C-alpha cells in the first residue's frame, strides 16, 4: 500500500500510521503500545493537514500517538475533572446546578492525544441505549433548576442524523430546559459529516442549539472545514469554539492570534481556552498556568473583545471551571493596568 492510499482511510493502528508515512519505523512498537491503552483514529481530513516531513507539525502532535504518552506523571489523574463523582445516572454528569452533561456515545471520528477522557473514549459498547437515555432525561425532567443540556462524549455529531434529531426533540420537550449545547470536533476533523441534513437538524425548530467547535490551530480550518462551518452558521446555529492550550501546538501568542482571527472570520466566537487537564500520559502537552496567563496578556489589546476567549482551568476533582487569566485591576492600589503594561489610577487624579 502506498502512503497516499493509506491516507484515504481512517488510520487506527501503528501499521496504518507507518504505511501513511506519519511515524518512523523505530517508533512503531511504542506507538502500538500506546494504541493498546488509548484509542487511535485519524480521518483523511486530518491526515491531509499533516506534513510528514515536519517533525514539529502541530496537527500531527495533536493526533499522532507518541511514546511520550507512556509516561505517567505523579500529578496525573485517571478522572482529572471528577466526572465519576457527579454522575447520578449512566451517561449524565451534574456538576453545576443549572446544567448537565449528557454523553450519548463515547466514539469520535478522531482521538486527540491530550483528551481528558482518553481512557474511556473509543468504547463503542458505551453508547447509551434507549433505557439509559430514558433514565437520563427523566433525571433532567424532574429537576427544574436544570436549564441547559450539553451533549458531549465522544462526539455527538457521530450519531446518525435521525437519532440526533430524535434526541434533540426529546430534550427540547422538557419545558424548563432553555437551550442545548453540543461539543464537537466533527466540523474540523470530519467536515464531510456536516451535511445540509445535519445542519437542518441542528438549526431546526425547537429549543436553541449552540455548537461549540473544538479547534486548536488555524491549519485545522481547511476549506472543507470552512464550508462545514458556513453550512452550520447559515442554518442559524450560534457557533462557539473551545481550544486547549498545548505545548508544541499553540503555545505562542502569534499562533493563538492567528487561530482566533480565523475563527471570527468563520463566524465562530472564541469561547474557552482550556488549560490542559491532568490526564494520564499528557504531561508533555502541559504549560504552566503562569505561561498561559502571559500568553493571554500578550493577546489583550492585539485582538478585539469578540476574538478573546476566557482562559480557564477545570479544577481537579469536579469543583468546576474557573477563569485563570491575567489580572488588570489592583483593588488595594485602586489602579488598572492597560494592555501595554502601564498602570493608571482610577478614577484619575
Locate 125 and state its grid cell: 459498547
Give the three-class secondary structure for 186: helix
Q: Which helix (H) or strand (E) holds 273?
A: strand 269-274
Query: Distance between CA atoms of 315 and 278, rounded to whole angstroms?
Result: 10
Q: Which of 105, 177, 118 is nearest to 143 (CA)?
A: 177
Q: Given 12, 207, 298, 321, which residue is catalytic?
A: 321
Annotation marks residue 272 as catalytic: no
β-strands 148-151, 99-102 pairing = parallel
Q: Given 117, 185, 193, 297, which residue is catalytic?
A: 117
Q: Given 16, 57, 61, 95, which residue is catalytic?
A: 95
Q: Which helix (H) or strand (E) holds 72?
A: none
Annotation marks residue 207 as catalytic: no
Question: Angle formed by the axes of helices 161-172 and 130-141, to 10°?
Answer: 20
Q: Given 76, 96, 293, 300, which residue is catalytic?
A: 96
Dihedral of the CA atoms 156, 159, 162, 166 (nearest 10)? -50
Alpha-carbon torsion (186, 302, 256, 284), positive or negative: negative
Q: Given 16, 57, 79, 314, which residue is catalytic?
A: 314
Annotation marks residue 277 as catalytic: yes
Annotation marks residue 321 as catalytic: yes
Q: Given 61, 99, 120, 219, which residue is catalytic?
A: 99
Annotation marks residue 90 as catalytic: no
Q: Given 38, 108, 181, 271, which residue is catalytic?
A: 108
Q: Which of 157, 154, 213, 202 is nearest to 180 (CA)?
A: 202
Annotation marks residue 314 as catalytic: yes
Asked if 113 and 79 touch (Cβ cutoff 8 Å), the reply is no
Q: Given 7, 57, 112, 193, which residue is catalytic?
A: 112
Q: Given 7, 61, 111, 115, which residue is catalytic?
A: 115
Locate 82 and state its grid cell: 471528577
Annotation marks residue 178 as catalytic: no
Residues 6+ apart with CB under 8 A from 84: none
Asked if 286 and 276 touch (Cβ cutoff 8 Å), the reply is yes
The residues annotated with a catalytic role in the active site are 95-96, 99, 108, 112, 115, 117, 277, 314, 321
Amino acid at each position: 500500500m502506498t502512503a497516499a492510499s493509506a491516507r484515504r482511510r481512517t488510520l487506527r493502528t501503528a501499521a496504518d500510521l507507518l504505511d501513511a508515512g506519519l511515524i518512523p519505523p523505530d517508533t512503531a512498537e511504542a506507538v502500538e503500545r500506546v494504541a493498546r491503552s488509548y484509542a487511535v483514529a485519524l480521518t483523511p481530513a486530518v491526515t491531509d493537514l499533516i506534513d510528514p516531513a515536519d517533525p514539529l507539525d502541530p496537527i500531527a502532535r495533536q493526533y499522532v500517538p507518541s511514546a511520550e504518552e507512556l509516561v505517567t506523571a505523579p500529578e496525573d489523574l485517571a478522572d482529572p475533572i471528577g466526572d465519576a463523582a457527579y454522575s447520578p445516572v449512566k451517561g449524565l454528569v451534574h456538576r453545576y446546578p443549572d446544567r448537565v452533561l449528557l454523553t450519548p456515545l463515547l466514539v469520535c471520528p478522531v482521538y486527540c492525544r491530550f483528551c481528558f477522557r482518553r481512557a474511556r473514549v473509543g468504547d463503542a459498547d458505551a453508547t447509551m441505549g434507549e433505557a439509559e437515555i430514558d433514565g437520563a432525561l427523566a433525571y433532567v425532567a424532574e429537576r427544574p433548576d436544570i436549564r441547559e443540556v450539553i451533549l458531549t462524549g465522544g462526539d455527538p455529531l457521530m450519531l446518525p442524523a435521525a437519532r440526533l434529531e430524535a434526541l434533540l426533540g426529546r430534550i427540547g420537550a422538557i419545558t424548563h430546559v432553555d437551550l442545548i449545547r453540543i461539543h464537537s470536533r466533527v466540523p474540523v476533523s470530519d467536515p464531510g459529516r456536516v451535511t445540509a441534513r445535519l445542519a437542518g437538524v441542528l438549526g431546526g425548530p425547537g429549543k436553541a442549539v449552540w455548537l461549540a467547535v473544538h479547534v486548536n490551530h488555524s491549519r485545522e480550518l481547511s476549506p472543507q472545514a470552512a464550508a462545514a462551518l458556513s453550512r452550520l452558521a447559515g442554518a442559524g446555529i450560534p457557533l462557539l469554539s473551545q481550544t486547549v492550550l498545548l505545548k508544541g501546538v499553540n503555545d505562542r501568542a502569534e499562533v493563538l492570534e492567528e487561530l482566533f482571527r480565523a475563527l471570527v472570520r468563520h463566524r465562530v466566537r472564541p469561547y474557552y481556552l482550556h488549560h490542559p487537564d491532568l490526564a494520564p500520559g499528557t504531561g508533555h502537552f502541559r504549560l504552566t498556568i503562569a505561561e498561559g496567563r502571559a500568553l493571554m496578556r500578550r493577546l489583550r489589546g492585539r485582538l478585539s473583545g469578540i476574538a478573546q476567549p476566557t482562559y480557564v482551568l477545570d479544577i481537579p476533582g469536579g469543583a468546576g471551571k474557573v477563569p485563570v487569566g491575567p489580572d488588570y485591576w489592583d483593588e488595594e492600589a485602586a489602579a488598572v493596568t492597560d494592555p501595554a503594561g502601564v498602570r493608571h489610577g482610577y478614577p484619575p487624579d
